[in-house]
Amino acid sequence: MFRSILAVVVAVITWFLVATILNLVLRALLPGYSAAEVTFAFTLPMMLCRLGLGLVASLCAGLVGASIADRNTAAKITAAMLVALFIQVHYMLWDKFPIWYHLFFLVTLAPTVLLGAALVRRPLGARISAQA
């Protein structure tokens, strides 16, 4: 139980850490990104990069969470928490982005976390004991 709670907490922290690092990379590499970030006046390539950032952060969160806890439950709880959190965020930002942007982010968030968790390979001993 403790490992599952720890996995969820670390996975959510991982999501925000990876997203922050990748956002700093976008600021450094995309001309005009920093200025657009202030007013949310993103160009299409900027929005696509932001969505890619979300996908990578979600994959990493799933990977990290599943690496800590052996249960798939931690990944599902992480995915649900992130969706619940980001529904509120996207509601507040609804007029700042086109609807396809919100839909893509919110619809892919949970499956991408679960995909990241599914990519974790369990040691053979853990897989054998889980099957018994």
What confidence tens digit (pLDDT) does each residue in 97-116 have? 999 999 999 999 999 999 99
Cα 21 to the chain's mean position, in Å?
13
DSSP string of 88-118, one letter each residue: HHHHHTGGGS-HHHHHHHHHHHHHHHHHHHH
Q: How far apart, in Å, are the Cα atoms of 12 and each of 7, 15, 45, 93, 126?
A: 9, 5, 26, 21, 24
Cβ atoms of 4 and 69 within 8 Å: the answer is yes
What CA–CA distance (Å, rounded) separates 30 from 25?
8
Q: What is the pLDDT of residue 124?
A: 46
pLDDT above 70 for 128: no
